[in-house]
Structure 1
Amino acid sequence: MSGDTVPPVERVDRHLLRVAFILVLGTFMATLDATIVSVGIDTLTDEFDASVAEIQWVTTAYLLAVVGAVPASGWLADRFGGKRTWLAAVGVFLLGSVLCALAWSVTSLIVFRVVQGLGGGLLPATGQALLARVAGPNRTGRVISVVAVVPLLSPVFGPLVGGSVLAVGTWPWLFLINLPIGLVAALLARRYVPAVPPSTRRTAFDLRGAALLSPGLAVLVYGLTEVAHGRTLPAAVGVTAGLAMLAGFTVHGLRTRATPLVDPRLFARPPFGAAALALLVLGASVFGTMFLLPLYFQTGRGLSAWEAGLLLAPQGLGAAAGSVLVNRTIDKVAPRTLVVTGIVLILAGTVPFTQLGHEVPDTVIAVALAVRGLGMAMVGAPVMNIVYSRIEPEQLPRASGALNLLNTVGGSLGTAALAVVLQNRLSARGPDISSAFADTFWWVLGFCLIAAAGATRLPRTRARKA
């Protein structure tokens, strides 16, 4: 059957919900760790007698490792099976967590964060593809609507969890807290998550593509990070080299006769291109905002990490409410309608932050964050549902890897770009910190407008599988 028709609703049974809960534990663990360490930067600086420039690599190294790992997730799932790849990723992540807790210097901690990031980068993409395969095309939307809210909640809960850990324990517990979550997830997955067989079409690993894509993204993010720190030569080299490697990867992906790590042709194939743009810019907006706001609350308003986390909590509540709404309407409302509505809500929730120079009350900030959270939950799941319901099951791992890569890259590049803008505006505004942050949020608003333009090209409905 072809054409844009609404598929029949299939019941999401208890078994599928249990599988979703187990797989979402891995995603929660990985995405939480990307932010939980942020509140411990001052503690780690004192513990290792390191400079701020050195200790920031504890966070940057993790994110770069995630960016490097995501592209390989599709090939690994094809080669070894989704469940086996997911369990291996949990194991690598937990190993990295233990090593981080045992670190004896800032250099060793950075190296061990790379190990942790390699496992963390595989978990969301592999988990989503595995869940979509188990759910089938007609149940994917409602299940993904629950899973997709986790990355939105983690940046909110990260500072709260990190602040709570440091209030009662020492810094190694920022990493050891992952152990019970990961062990429970692995034990439950071995028992309840069905094994999805590897792809019958075995392909060689794209070594040339891997040598260009992952390092290219990492070098580009590094270059933008150096721009934010005002180091001109490393920034110019990083950005130029990163863009050149990504261009080389694109040419390689178009010319190779083998299966590329990420097929550039996917992005020219509707609805993948429009979905990719929406997720890329959404990642920049979401993670960029979660970089700006805690910094503003602590430097502009003098709040503690715990107080900043509490003020961010309404965004998590809005995202949870949005997840429930999407779960109940995704099979009844056109996916594009949900996505466009979500982006409009994100736009509306961002506008008050462009007025921070006028002493915006905490109540307005809380309401704006709740509206943003509601809107963000209405974008990610419908976009992924549109794509997952239109591709063949054996293509799910690579499509999931590509979508998660774009969301991660959008977050990394968006955060780095906004850091550059913020540094520029702080220099221009001088002591008027609030106005500098307000200026930067106009860029976030611009990201949202680009995402809205991409969303209008999404199909109105998802196709029914024959």
Structure 2
Amino acid sequence: MTDPPTEIDARLLRAAFVLVLGTFMATLDATIVNVGIDTLAQEFGATVTEIQWVTTAYLLAVLLAVPSSGWIVDRFGGRRTWIGAVILFLAGSLLCALAWSIESLIVFRVIQGLGGGLLPPVGQALVAREAGPKRIGRIISIVGVVPLLSPVIGPIVGGSILGVADWPWLFWVNLPIGIVAALLALRFVAPNPPAAQGAPFDVRGAALLPPGVAALVFGLTELGNGRAVGSAPVLLGLVGGVVLLAGYVVHALRMRGVPLIDLRLFTRSPFGAAASALIILGASVYGAMFLLPLYFQIGRGLTPFAAGLLLVPQGVGAAIGSIVVNRTVDRVAPRTLVLTGIGLIALGTVLFTQLGSVPSDPLIVASLLVRGIGLGMIGAPVMSIVYSSMPHAQLPRASSALNLLNTLGGSVGTAVLAVILQSRLAARAPLGEPGVALAFADTFWWTLGFCLVAVVGATRLPRRAPAEHAST
């Protein structure tokens, strides 16, 4: 039996590039469309409540798709599932570009979200399988920076598109990227047979988990949009979500077969600690990417394009952090890398808790650069220790669970921060314009709280470097 390869060769790089292209397309589209929300509202004559469903519908569809990705890969094979997800995403994009009303656009965003939700977990599982345990850390550090860059690049691309073209081009732009990605996947991604064609689908779990997550996020989103706590949409979402999720926990722990998301994975070391770190990473990345553009536009009066440019340093920092991890992930303990990353995120966030003093642009740039470096240092070591410790047959299920947690952390974290921001804006309203900056500062304190919670999970990560494990 030959030892698994240790060098990052051209074949692996080509496959990883193709697979990450799909993730990039899906995550980039989400932020591009966010920039065009106001334009879409004017085009369709939609109210604020109606137009927010363009974003919410996509997010809820993603939350429905992610938990099912492990079973789909087991049933149909990884490459076939990934290409099918690209085609579904492109079909949704095409229909969105042709939408004739706000209702049709929302429906087509659901189709787009179902395809987009499958791309990250399936792509990560395929990369992990192709790389093997001795290369997974370094290759993840290379391709893992892409999801961090897309929220930064998205506002710039979206602002540029709307500056020279009509709104349908927010969706047309996906078609050439997706077609190229699907064709390259046929050429460079190795086919893999289904792992368990006869495994039954967890129907009861699918009826409990995805709707439960979606209902919970919907309730928080409605609360963030100004609905009262006692209103029917909020109560139905929050209470219904908690009841469905509790039902799934009972079902998954009692089920004899393979549940949609195997909760027993979280009791295994290092999966449980890694999962908690990824939840907080999702909340930190997506929560801050929700607050920062809003502050730049509402608190400082910048255009969406200018706000996007001001976020570029965070993307540059993420690239620097990924380079650091690529060179150290096999020699430095995961716990050390992740705790350092969390510390840098916290340091880069401190400035935004002091917005009442109107920080200068150079100070903002420096803080975002530091914050980006920290973000780039967390994802790769966390996913590396999980994927390298999992048998190949369990990779799709593990990837599905990790991506669900990351998405859940991001969506719930963003919704919670939206609720907090709204309450602080109301409380600071008597102060006039300075109160807006102070309300954002109050909310950023919560992102620092996320970092403290993340430290608890990170301290449970392995204390020894992967190379030390291999030598014993």
Tell me which interval the TM-score lies in, with the shorter structure as reference length. over 0.9
Q: Work out the CA distance in 2 between the residues paired with 1:84 and 1:419.
A: 38
Matched with 2:168 is 172
Q: Work out the CA distance in 2 between the residues paired with 1:147 and 1:81.
A: 22
Runs ≥4 in structure 1, deviation > 3 angstroms? 461-466
Matched with 1:11 is 7
CA shift in 2, pair 1:124/1:303, >3 Å: same
Residue 67 of structure 1: CA displacement?
Answer: 1.0
Give yes or no for the alignment of 1:386 onto 2:382: no
Give yes or no for the alignment of 1:85 onto 2:62: no
Matched with 1:144 is 140
TM-score in terms of structure 2 length: 0.96
Matched with 2:446 is 443
**Partners of 2:4 and 2:132 within 8 A in 1:** no
Q: Work out the CA distance in 2 between the residues paired with 1:99 and 1:159.
A: 22
**Structure 2 residue corresponding to 1:222, chosen from 218, 222, 227:** 218
Amino acid at match of 1:299: I
Matched with 1:420 is 419
Partner SS, residue 12 of structure 1: coil
**Partners of 1:390 and 1:465 within 8 A in 2:** no
Q: Work out the CA distance in 2 between the residues paired with 1:377 and 1:138.
A: 20
Matched with 1:42 is 38
Matched with 1:459 is 462
Q: Work out the CA distance in 2 between the residues paired with 1:237 and 1:185.
A: 40
Partner SS, residue 24 of structure 2: helix
Q: Work out the CA distance in 1 between the residues paired with 2:86 and 2:178.
A: 6
Residue 325 of structure 1: CA displacement?
Answer: 1.3
Matched with 2:256 is 257
TM-score in terms of structure 1 length: 0.97
Q: Work out the CA distance in 2 between the residues paired with 1:202 and 1:136.
A: 26
Q: Which structure 1 residue ranges, 5 or more long, are not aligned?
A: 1-6
Identity fraction in percent: 67
Residue 324 of structure 1: CA displacement?
Answer: 1.3
Q: Which structure 2 residue ranges, 5 or more long, are not aligned?
A: none
Partner SS, residue 128 of structure 2: helix
Q: Render the CA deviation track for 1:87-125: whole Å, top value 9, x for unaligned.
A: 000000000000000000000000000000000000000
Matches within 5 A, 1:28-427: 28-200=24-196, 202-232=198-228, 233=231, 234-427=233-426
**Partners of 1:389 and 1:464 within 8 A in 2:** no
Q: Render the CA deviation track for 1:42-70: whole Å, top value 9, x for unaligned.
A: 11011000011100110111111111100
Amino acid at match of 2:436: I
Residue 258 of structure 1: CA displacement?
Answer: 1.4
Residue 230 of structure 1: CA displacement?
Answer: 2.6
Residue 229 of structure 1: CA displacement?
Answer: 2.1
CA shift in 2, pair 1:465/1:68, >3 Å: farther
User: What is the alpha-carbon root mean square deviation over aligned residues?
Assistant: 1.4
Partner SS, residue 8 of structure 2: coil
Partner SS, residue 88 of structure 2: helix
Q: Work out the CA distance in 2 between the residues paired with 1:454 and 1:385.
A: 16
